[in-house]
Structure 1
Amino acid sequence: MKYSKATNYALHTMAFLTLNEKDEAIGVEQLAKMQNLSPTYLSKILTKLVKAGLIESTPGVKGGYRLLKRQKETSFLDVIQAIEGQTSLFHCSLDHKELPHNHGCLIEQVMMNAEAKMKADLDATYIADIARQMKKKGPSLLFCTDYRYKESLIYTIKEHRAMFDCIIIGGGPAGLNAALVLGRAKRKVLLLDENKPRNAVTHASHGFLTRDGIKPSAFKEAAYADLRKYPNIEWAQVRVGTMTKEQGGFSVQTETKETYHARKILLATGLKDQLPDIAGIESFYGSSLFPCPFCDGWELRDRPLVVICEDERVLHLGKLIWNWSKDLVICTNGQRFLTDEQKTAFLANGIKVIEKEIAALEGEDGQLQNIRFADGQEINREGGFVAVDLQQAEAFGKALGCTYNEQGGIKTDPFGRTSVAGVYASGDTTFNGPQQLILAAAEGSKVGAGIVIDLVDEEF
């Protein structure tokens, strides 16, 4: 009985399909990615499993492969024979008729007896039983052949602790571009992303050459399409629970209890916005109220706008928005911090300042129409910009012991290295400049290159 690499991959595939509790068809590309294989190579193996009646192929856009319901008790021997056939492991080609007493080949008899014992052992070992062990111990379990002569050749299963070159936490533009650079450098990369982006409220992203006006979701889809070209890049939509430093690298545990290990960690978890406490503001944020004029100023150009800001940032933001619209009102929501000289400078440029408390923002379908103040006054505005407070989306940097800068971002050098060896940070989480899509992607590219450089220096 033969045992080849193809059989090893067939056993893996059957285990993955057995673990598919929803019994939905799984595409060849997904099955191939699980094993870091070429889909073309795996297709040949799947064809043999279909012909053997162990799995079935389903057509259509959502087509793929799944177990036949009657094959829940498929044995190791069933899979091996589906790939290798019934060929015996050993056959003596000598003519034994000329030997005394015509006893036949004793060596062949020994080998055939051993093979019979091995077949019996494999026929009594079911894929479903092994799959249950895999589910209990975690996904990183490999089938290994351990040829030891005892009573027969025994197949054992050993836990495999995969070590990634880098695990990236966060699937925004910084994390995605870093993954691309690392993948193209032949590095084994895992990207973990909860898929709760800061720009989820945004209908379109701007200022990214060749991608101007793209929906954030479409940008992400295009990014993953690029990553799929590289079999050494893996990703999962999951929330990370904890990270700890260990010998030789880091351990990352997800909230679904998976554990992964890596030599390097890249934090690209981004920021989250904290809006002013004004009734109705969430209804317009991302549709007609925005934080950045470079991202959305063009769409609001020359319209009656408002700048909502409760602190000294209004001195910069008010002047900047004036570039896109001269019909501008500044609202401080009851805060009185501007000097008479500062208000006079705004008025000299046609900018009205209202320091009253805002009662509510009003409008329909995400489009701001009216601002109502606590004293009953109302003004009509068609959109505007708001100064938001920025907070770290996650506290992984603090948990690992990273130093932070005065702005609250993780402190790094130009290549993303933090104060903790092996930990890098990129994108908005560093507070290194304006929070823009193209800048985050560029920083991810640079930090990805820095990680490759450090890995090479360690190995050379």
Structure 2
Amino acid sequence: MEKKHFEVIIVGGSYSGLSAAMSLGRSLRKVLVIDSGLPCNRQTPHSHNFITQDGEKPAVISAKAKLQVDIYKTVQFYNGLAVKALQIDKGFEIETESGDVFTARKVLFATGVKDLFPKIDGFADCWGISVLHCPYCHGYEVKNEKTAIIANGEMGFEYAKLISNWTKDLRLCTNGKSELTLEQTQILKNHGVLILENEIDSLEHNEGYVSNIIFKNEEKISVKAIYAKVPFEQHCSLPEELGCEINEQGYLKVDFMQKTTVPGIFGSGDATTQMRSVALAVSSGSFAGAVINKELIDEDFV
């Protein structure tokens, strides 16, 4: 296996990784971007709340970004999956699924998270299309529509409060016995939120656009949109294998400079924050690239 050395390896070539690559390319750094081509929003029809790109298809944004990054000739791309990582003298070693090995002084993980869907038939098919995670990203497009929230307890209460800004035609599906307090229940009822405790069986939809929620007791309700927060795991286990800490929420722990708990390893994008949006992923990647470049300068300027 031939080893090739770079100053920086970026694992993850979606919005955050590409943004970091541009920042580093413009800093004349020799960079390798390793990407397996599976962004978490790959079935989302349109991206929103990103100035100059509002309403654009996610794949169009990333393709344009890659073309622009490719202008910087010190940046190279590798299509594949990073499967092994080692800390070596003066840097890190990354091995891909194909057996290629690369080394670098610094590594940035912009690898995102993997959503874990509930056992509700049709849920995964609708995810990112009509089953939504973020009203700031998609709420405007379904404003004032008949909307459901799948959540319970404190999360369900706070989520219902939030979504009520975009629609008053709202029902909270607790998918089982409600865990709301009596006070929370009364507040939601006072604001016209219908609370449904039946367990959900499936979602009726047409190519990802939901029409009905079907309950296990065979009752159903019609809806145009559903909001849900689902559990997740890190899309890539390599940061943990290298010793990087994961915080209590399950995100890669980084400081305000996008540095992980392991010197020389950085994190950006959805892997590091619950604020999942293209705009914020781009911002954190750009900043991480600048910080990495400054760290390399400081190390060399002795």
Q: TM-score, normalised by structure 2?
A: 0.96
Tell me the distance in 2 between the aligned counterparts of 1:418 and 1:285: 30
1:282 maps to which residue? 124
Unpaired runs of 5+ residues, structure 1, are 1-136, 139-160
Counterpart Cα distance in 1 of 2:165 and 2:220: 25
Shift of 1:396: 0.9
What does 1:174-213 align with in structure 2 at a 5 Å threshold?
174-213=16-55
Tell me, yes or no, if the aligned pair for 1:311 and 1:335 is still in contact at 8 Å. no
Q: Secondary structure at the match of 1:370?
A: strand
Q: Note the C-alpha offset of 1:346.
A: 0.7
Match of 1:224 among 50, 55, 66: 66
Residue from 313, 316, 320 that aligns with 2:162: 320
**Aligned match of 1:398 in 236, 240, 245?**
240
- Structure number with greater CO (CA < 8 Å, separation at least 6) is 2
The counterpart of 1:264, out of the listed 64, 88, 106, is 106
The AA in structure 1 aligned to 2:168 is K
1:322-355 C-alpha deviation (Å, 9 max, x unpaired):
1111101110101421122211111111110001
How far, CA to CA, are the matches of 2:221 and 2:115 in structure 1? 26
Q: CA deviation at 1:428?
A: 1.3
Q: Distance in 1 between matches of 2:268 and 2:208?
A: 32
User: Helix, strand or coil: the match of 1:379?
Assistant: strand
| Secondary structure of 2:279 counterpart | helix
CA contact (8 A) 1:239 1:255 kept: yes
Q: Distance in 1 between matches of 2:195 and 2:116?
A: 23
SS in 2 for 1:384: strand
1:297 partner SS? helix
Q: Does 1:442 align with 2:283?
A: yes
Runs of at least 4 residues of structure 1 off by over 4 A? none
Conservation of the 8 A alpha-carbon contact between 1:167 and 1:266:
yes
- Whole-Å Cα distance in 2 between the matches of residues 259 and 458 of structure 1? 24
1:293 corresponding residue in structure 2: 135
- AA paired with 1:386? A
How far apart in 2 are the matches of 1:345 and 1:292? 23
Indicate if the aligned counterparts of 2:24 and 2:293 stay in contact, CA closer than 8 A: yes
Q: Quick one: which amino acid aligns to residue 258 of structure 1? A: D
| 2:293 corresponds to 1:452 | yes
Give the whole-Å Cα distance in 2 for the aligned partners of 1:436 and 1:191.
Answer: 21
Would the aligned equivalents of 2:14 and 2:39 in 1 still touch at CA under 8 Å? yes
Task: Deviation per CA, 1:149-187: give whole Å up to 9, x if none.
Answer: xxxxxxxxxxxx542110000012111100000110010
Match of 1:251 in 2: 93
Gaps of 5+ in 2: none
Aligned CA-pair RMSD = 1.3
Q: TM-score, normalised by structure 1?
A: 0.64
State the alpha-carbon separation in 2 of the partners of residues 391 and 335 from structure 1. 26
Between the aligned partners of 1:370 and 1:227, the Cα distance in structure 2 is 43
Paired AA for residue 235 in structure 1: F
Q: Residue 344 of structure 1: SS of its match in structure 2?
A: helix
Which structure: greater helix fraction?
1
- Cα 1:168–1:335 shift into 2, 3 Å: farther
Output one character per residue of 1:418-446: Cα deviation in whole Å (capped at 9) or x when no partner: 12111111111112x41111011100111
Q: Distance in 1 between matches of 2:86 and 2:270?
A: 23
- Which amino acid is 1:165 matched to? E
1:424 and 2:272 are equivalent in the alignment: no
* Letter of the structure 2 residue corresponding to residue 372 of structure 1: I
Give yes or no for contact 1:368–1:381 (8 Å, CA) kept in 2: yes
| 8 Å Cα contact 1:307/1:386 also seen in 2 | yes
Displacement, 1:243? 0.7
> Rg bigger for which structure?
1
Contact 1:300–1:384 (8 Å) recurs in 2? no
Partner residue of 2:147 out of 291, 294, 305: 305
Distance 2:207 2:244 in 1: 43
